[in-house]
């Protein structure tokens, strides 16, 4: 068992530790048990998400996207040991060009029918390049609905936290998306309107 050097970050569902993996700086992501969740439900969710996340990160890597290398996983402790990526979270330093990069990421994923599931700027690390670090809610799907959900979530986060530059950021995000694959985008955007009209008290 490896030693944890330091607790770096407490996320919503997991603790992120700085650790060593064969003398290499590494990150250990442990999904901690939730005391509020029914035990069986909790064990199941944590185990399933650990397996699926490491699989998704690896699949994204195979598509040529920058994601951390997975070194080791332990489904029963809900732990993933992965490459340490230095840099800042995109949420703190968001610019239009980062949004463009994120758009390219998402478009590549979607082209290969991978859905991110939790598309927020805080799931990207920025140094000289952009790296996607968290795919805990990602899954495989060919449905436009699911692709639209991804983009809608990103839009929602931008409007609620970056309302001043929302229009510009979202524009760049879509440009990035188009840059990789423009074919499906119009239909997906149409679908977003569809989803939004299904919300409570939406005026269609």
**Residue corresponding to tokens 């510009």:** 168
Residues from 6 through 45 that contact another protein (CB under 8 A): 10-13, 34-38, 40-42, 44-45
Q: Is 1 in the site for another protein (CB under 8 A)?
A: no
Residue 42 near residue 33 (C-beta atoms within 8 A): yes
Among this protein's residues, is 146 annotated catalytic?
Answer: no
Site pattern 83..122 for another protein (x: CB under 8 A): --------x-------------------------xxxx-x
Q: Which of 44, 74, 118, 194 is catalytic?
A: 118
Range 46-85, binding another protein (CB under 8 A): none
Shortest approach of another protein to residue 134 CB, angstroms?
11
Q: Decide if 103 contacts 111 (C-beta within 8 A).
A: no
Using the contact rule CB under 8 A, the part of the chain among 58-66, 68-76, 174-182, 191-199 near another protein is: 191-199
17 by Cβ neighbours in 10 Å (0-12 / 13-18 / 19+) ranks as buried
Instruction: Tell me which residues in 161-190 interact with another protein (CB under 8 A).
Output: 161, 163-164
The nearest distance, CB 42 to another protein, in angstroms, is 8
Q: What angle (nearest 5°) sits at the alpha carbon of residue 15, between those of residues 14 and 16?
A: 115
What one-character DSSP code corresponds to residue 122? G
CB of 101 to another protein, least distance (A): 19
One residue of 18, 70, 73, 153 binding another protein per CB under 8 A:
153
Tokens of 170: 């979202």
- Between CA 64 and CA 177 the distance in angstroms is 16
Minimum CB separation of residue 135 from another protein in Å reads 13
- Tell how far CA 183 is from the center of its chain: 23
- Tell me which stretch binds another protein (CB under 8 A): 68-76, 77-85, 155-163, 184-192: 155-163
Q: What is the dihedral of CA 45, 46, 50, 56, to 10 degrees?
A: 30
Q: What's the token pair of residue 185?
A: 């985008």
| Positions marked catalytic | 118
């Amino acid at each position: 068992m490896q030693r944890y050097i330091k607790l770096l970050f407490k996320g919503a569902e997991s603790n992120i530790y700085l650790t060593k993996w064969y003398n290499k700086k590494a990150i250990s992501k442990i999904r901690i048990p939730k005391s509020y969740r029914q035990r069986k439900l909790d064990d199941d969710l944590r185990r399933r998400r650990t397996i699926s996340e490491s699989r998704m990160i690896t699949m994204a890597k195979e598509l040529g996207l920058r994601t951390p290398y997975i070194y080791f996983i332990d489904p029963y402790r809900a732990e993933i040991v992965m490459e340490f990526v230095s840099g800042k979270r995109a949420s703190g330093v968001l610019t239009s060009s980062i949004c463009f990069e994120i758009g390219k990421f998402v478009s590549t994923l979607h082209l290969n029918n991978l859905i991110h599931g939790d598309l927020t700027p805080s799931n990207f690390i920025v140094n000289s390049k952009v790296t996607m670090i968290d795919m805990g809610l990602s899954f495989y799907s060919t449905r436009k609905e699911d692709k639209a959900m991804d983009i809608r979530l990103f839009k929602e986060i931008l409007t609620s936290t970056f309302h001043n530059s929302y229009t510009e950021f979202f524009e760049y995000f879509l440009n990035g998306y188009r840059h990789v694959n423009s074919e499906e985008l119009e239909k997906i955007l149409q679908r977003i309107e569809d989803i939004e009209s299904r919300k409570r008290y939406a005026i269609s």
